[in-house]
Amino acid sequence: MPWLQRGLRFAGRAAPERCARRETEDNTMASNLEFVQFVCDQLGEQVSCRRMFGEYGLFAHGKYFACVCDNQLFFKATPGGRMLLGSALASCQLEPPYPGAAPYLLVTQLEDRELLSRLLEATCRELPEPKPRKKRAGK
């Protein structure tokens, strides 16, 4: 079967080596749940998290706006978010959260709830509305 030779799995999922969890030297997950909960608490009640690709995706108002990778917070880079951070960009750099990803804003000021809240609203305001899910036929 040619799809097996290419390392693909059923339902179009990527090869296991591409989906493998990144592990630290002590053989644990790169991001721990306690850090993710702290970030969600700092961002407010409207934020939820979901396991994605061995790390965590953050959602607000039904929109994916950030991720936590290697115990670091990465916001999607939107013009409003960049403008809001303005002078704070010294502590926020554009970096990809994982190899091959688009650059995100790496946020290091996690104790400043007001800044995080404003950044969340500015980012979500510019992101498109989520597409409605299609119902599966026959289920």
* CATH number for 104: 3.30.1460
8 domain residue, yes or no = no
Q: What is the pLDDT of residues 39-76, one digit of tens each?
A: 999 999 999 999 988 899 999 989 999 999 999 999 99
135 domain residue, yes or no = no
For residue 97, give its domain range. Answer: 24-125
pTM above 0.75, yes or no: no
Element housing 104 (H / E): strand 104-107
41 domain residue, yes or no = yes
Name the H helices within 20-107. Answer: 33-43, 79-85
Question: Is a pLDDT exceeding 80 seen at residue 131?
Answer: yes
Q: What is the pLDDT of residues 10-30, one digit of tens each?
A: 233 333 333 333 443 444 457
Q: What is the pLDDT of residues 31-46, one digit of tens each?
A: 899 999 999 999 999 9
d(CA 114, CA 4): 50
137 domain residue, yes or no = no
1 domain residue, yes or no = no
111 domain residue, yes or no = yes
CA–CA distances in Å: residue 68 to residues 5, 33, 36, 65, 135? 33, 10, 7, 11, 30
Q: How many C-beta neighbours within 10 Å does residue 107 have?
A: 22
In total, how many domains does the chain have? 1
Percent over 90 (pLDDT), the chain: 51
7 domain residue, yes or no = no
**Main-chain dihedrals φ then ψ at residue 41, nearest 5 degrees:** -65, -40
